[in-house]
Structure 1
Amino acid sequence: MKLKLSRAVLVAFSFIFLNLASFAQETTVEQEFEKVMQKYSAVGASVAVVKNGKIIYTHSFGVKNLEDKTPLSDSDIFRIASISKSFSATSIMQLVEQGKLHLDDDFGDLVGFKIRNPKFPDEKITLKMALSHTSSLNDSQGYLNLDIINPEKNPNWAKCYNDYKPGTKFDYCNLNFNLIGTIIEKTSGERFDNYVKKHVLNPLGLYAGYCVDSLDSNRFVNLYEYHPDNKSFTLAAAAYAPRRAEIKNYVMGYSTPIFSPTGGMKISATDLAKYMIMHMNYGTSNGVKIISKKSAKQMQTALTDDEGYGLAIRSADDLIPNVQLKGHSGSAYGLYSTMFFSPKDKFGFVTITNGINATYTGDFPDFSRAAINCLYNAFIKKKP
């Protein structure tokens, strides 16, 4: 009895010690993260950390709105900007696997009107080029509707193309992915937002979507644009515009930019981390296969040496010193989001802020860089 009691006591004390150690670690990281928040005047931020392929930490800091100072919570959802592109690319890879599309298909044939760089009229622009931003298209005329690049709708359509040969250079272009959204509709026969929900979000059990009216508006996090001249924030009211009138008159395969395949996904940091785990595991999460390992690796394989961009997944070798990561970032309406992971070592990070004083070092906001390094040092970095 004494031996059993001793073991029981030891187990109890070990449990208490581990919980106290975990509490102390979380308290420390939250104190450090608050310093990052203060340094960059952050309104709010939600974060998630994945280790050994599982979410080990989530937390929300600051407020979801400045008007009544409602605290930000882990269940709140943000419009995440360009990380949305990876959802569109994942959907395309599903259709490729089904044999309904091929990455070397003519982009114009898929969209339904001629897409050719007028300076290189004989050079085919492929779906793969659009997914990797090597299509030679640009956003100089905007990207919120397809008329701008449709020769039958816009006399200035030629301005949507750069001066170099398609497939030879990288130029980040939102128009590429709004066009890709139309291809998903034309190929699947499903409206873009419904396709992503049915074939990506629902199988992974995620509360998210592109259509504002399909989500609980009480969970939307207000986004704020910072003005350095007077150190103030203004609400970006257009971030969650429902666009009901446009949706009422929706034309399948053409009106798709209404949902912004290039930037319109709304999701929480925690659910974005669950989605990230799927890509970290090369297409499968909790036994649910979204895309094949081959497709997932193809998305993560850089097609340009200088930018390290694949198919809506890029490489980031300088976000954390001496650590190679894959993922994507986003910025719009004052929001800054990051989703980066190591498929080799099975860790990753999601950080989303709804407003900061944004300064940059390289490709990433200093806030995002500091936030990810704070989480990496606390939860992943091996202690000497």
Structure 2
Amino acid sequence: MALLGGMQHVFGAPLRAANWKRGLDAELAAIAANPACTLTSLSVLAIRQGRVAYTAQFGHRTVAADGGGGARATARTMYRIASISKMMTTLALMRLVEQGKLTLDADAGEYLGFALRNPHYPERPISLRLLLSHTSSLRDDAGYSFKADQALRNLLVPGAPLYGDGKMWASNAAPGAFFTYSNLAWGVIGTIMERVTGERFDLLMRRLLLGPMGLRGGFNASAMTPAELADLATLYRKRTTDTEVWDGAGPWIAQVDDYPNGAPAAPQDLAAYAPGNNATPFSPTGGLRISAPDMGKVMLMLMNGGRHEGVQLLRPATLASMFERQWTYDGKNGDNLNGLFRAWGLGNQHFPEAAGGPQLVEGGGFGGVGHLGEAYGLYSVFVADLAKKNGIVVLVGGTSADPEADKGLHSSMPRMLERILGGVNRQALLKA
């Protein structure tokens, strides 16, 4: 009995850790296998007090049409993370700001080589700060992804060949006056980054962010190695790609990144690509492929004041300006998308804790900054309390039913995401 008591003392902490991890594994596995909304794959990472406390993967990165077989998701599985890419793009942009190549409050047209003006408010300059905070007055109504030979100048300037009836400009909100989430703004941002460096966007992101941090993946699937492609998650829905009709009893239908027969084609003839005309083929707005553990590296870098493995990638003051609040919803100054958007920094969403308001986790107690993503069946979450050094990454590779049909109970997110975040917060952040 004395010996057993001693062993309990020695192994008590590891046993407790194993218990909560097993419990969280079981909870997340049940969410992923829920027949009401099955997930093809789920990758999760939690950071507690500046250390990775939990990481796990469930399901398959590729699945057969009948749901059987396929390659299992692993720690190396990379996902097209949708709009969290915007925050990653911003990190690279802020390095250019540090280098003196860009100024946040300069007229963005000075970098583009043509006047960037809302024709309804021609006296109002549009700066990078307004583009980064979704207050530029640009809209997505005319699209936000174009072939590389379609220069953005020809879309944005009145009277230009692609301008049409000018749906890309708000007629009822001047630059700086109103928040409307704009993917097109990020095509403009990526094009500006190309123009001031002379580098293709995907290669620029590798030089400024992915390479220095040793992150796998990138914004150009056609440039991935065979080993990287083997780790890429196909994104799925149980619905066709061109309708909103879901069929939970039907087959899994690949939406994007389905490359069973080798590498994808390049966005175009890259040898003839002209940086600085139109960066949208590489999707600065949503095209980054990356794994949950590598996203965790980025989160730790932010928590450590811009420092990664002994290298100062960004200055603390630069990050402070990036995460400084730029916009807060006051009931009439923006499109808050049913409460989803309540506050914004530069390329990052804020999740303020407010009594009676939406909460990331049931009962509150976990707020922060970061970004959400949703596209092609994927749902993604990157949220961190930088002061407490706690954070959560969630990547869902596809759903069998429309998650929006099962509304959250305490947020504007689907209930599926609420359950995942709640379990990770309760087990990995509060119990670990």
CA 382–58 in structure 1, closer or farther in 2 if over 3 Å, else same: closer
Change (3 A) 1:14 1:254: farther
Within the candidate set 234, 237, 240, 2:253 is matched to 234
Residues 75-224 of structure 1 aligned to structure 2 (within 5 Å):
75-145=76-146, 146=152, 147-151=154-158, 152-156=160-164, 158-162=166-170, 163-215=172-224, 216-224=228-236
Contact preservation (8 Å) 1:150, 1:157: no
2:397 is aligned with 1:354: yes
Are residues 1:19 and 2:14 paired?
A: yes
How much has 1:118 moved relative to structure 2? 1.0
User: Secondary structure at 1:160's aligned position in 2?
Assistant: coil
- State the one-letter code of the partner of 2:175: P
Q: Which letter does structure 2 place at the counterpart of 1:298? A: S
Whichever residue aligns with residue 219 of structure 1, its letter is D
Identity over the aligned pairs, expressed in percent?
Answer: 30
Which digits, 9 at most, give the CA deviation of each residue in 1:43-70, with x for residues without a partner?
1100111111121211100111111332
Match of residue 356 from structure 2: none
Aligned residue for 1:61, secondary structure, equals strand
- RMSD between aligned alpha carbons? 2.2
Query: In structure 1, what is the Cα distance between the partners aligned to 2:187 and 2:254?
Result: 25
Matched, 1:262 2:285: yes
Q: Which residue of 1 aligns with 2:63?
A: 66
Tell me how far apart the structure 2 counterparts of residues 155 and 69 of structure 1 sit (CA, whole Å): 45
1:30-85 Cα shifts (integer Å, max 9, x gaps) = 11112222343111100111111121211100111111332111111111010001
Q: TM-score, normalised by structure 2?
A: 0.82
Instruction: Tell me how far apart the structure 2 counterparts of residues 239 and 102 of structure 1 sit (CA, whole Å).
Output: 39
CA distance in 2, matches of 1:14, 1:117: 68
> Which residue identity does 1:86 align to in structure 2?
M
Please state how far the C-alpha of 1:310 moved relative to its aligned partner.
0.6
Q: Does 1:250 align with 2:270?
A: no
For residue 289 of structure 1, what is the aligned residue in structure 2? 312
Give me the TM-score of the superposition, normalised by structure 1: 0.92
SS in 1 for 2:139: coil
Structure 1 contact 84–264 (Cα < 8 Å) conserved: yes
In structure 1, the gaps of 5 or more residues are: 1-5
Q: Quick check: 1:337 aligned with 2:380?
A: yes
CA distance in structure 1 between the partners assigned to 2:385 and 2:61 by the alignment: 29
Which residue of structure 1 lines up, in the alignment, with residue 413 of structure 2?
Answer: 364
Greater shift after overlay, 245-254 or 180-189? 245-254
Three-state SS of the structure 2 residue aligned to 1:136 is coil
Q: Secondary structure at the match of 1:319?
A: coil
The secondary structure found in structure 2 opposite 1:351 is strand
- Determine the C-alpha separation between the residues in 2 that align with 1:189 and 1:197: 14
8 Å contact kept, 1:211–1:242: no
SS in structure 2 of the partner of residue 378 of structure 1:
helix
Q: Which moved more, 1:12-21 or 1:369-378?
A: 12-21
**SS, match of residue 166 in structure 2:** helix
Structure with the largest fraction of helix:
1
1:235 alignment partner AA: A
Q: After superposition, what is the alpha-carbon deviation per residue over 1:359-383, rounded to whole angstroms, capped at 9, x for unaligned?
A: 2434423222221111010011259
Question: Which position in structure 1 is the counterpart of 2:334?
Answer: none
Measured after TM superposition, the shift of residue 157 of structure 1 is 6.0
Give, in whole Å, the separation in 2 of the partners of 1:106 and 1:271. Answer: 34
CA contact (8 A) 2:107 2:126 kept: yes
Q: What residue identity is the alignment partner of 1:197?
A: R
Q: Taking structure 1 as reference, are residues 157 and 218 closer, same or farther at Cα in structure 2, changes over 3 Å only?
A: farther
Shift, 1:15, TM fit: 4.4
Contact 1:302-1:314 at 8 Å conserved across structures: no
**1:242, 1:284 → 2: CA distance?**
36
Q: Distance in 2 between matches of 1:20 and 1:322?
A: 27
Cα distance in structure 1, aligned partners of 2:254 and 2:278? 27
Q: 3-state SS of the aligned residue for 1:275?
A: helix
Q: Is the 8 A contact 1:328 1:340 kept in 2?
A: yes
Asked whether the equivalents of residues 78 and 268 of structure 1 are also in contact (C-alpha less than 8 Å), the reply is yes
Q: Secondary structure at the match of 1:180?
A: helix
Q: Detail structure 1 runs of 4+ shifted over 6 Å in the superposition.
A: none
Deviations 1:168-201 (A, max 9, x none): 1111001111111111111122221112112211
Contact 1:246 1:258 in 2 (8 A): no
Alpha-carbon displacement from aligned partner over 1:330-353 (angstroms, at most 9, x marks no partner): 111111110001011111010001
State the Cα distance separating 1:113 from its structure 2 match: 2.2
What amino acid does structure 2 have at the position aligned with 1:127? L
Any idea what SS the aligned residue of 1:26 has? helix
Do 1:85 and 1:312's aligned partners in 2 also have CA atoms closer than 8 Å? yes
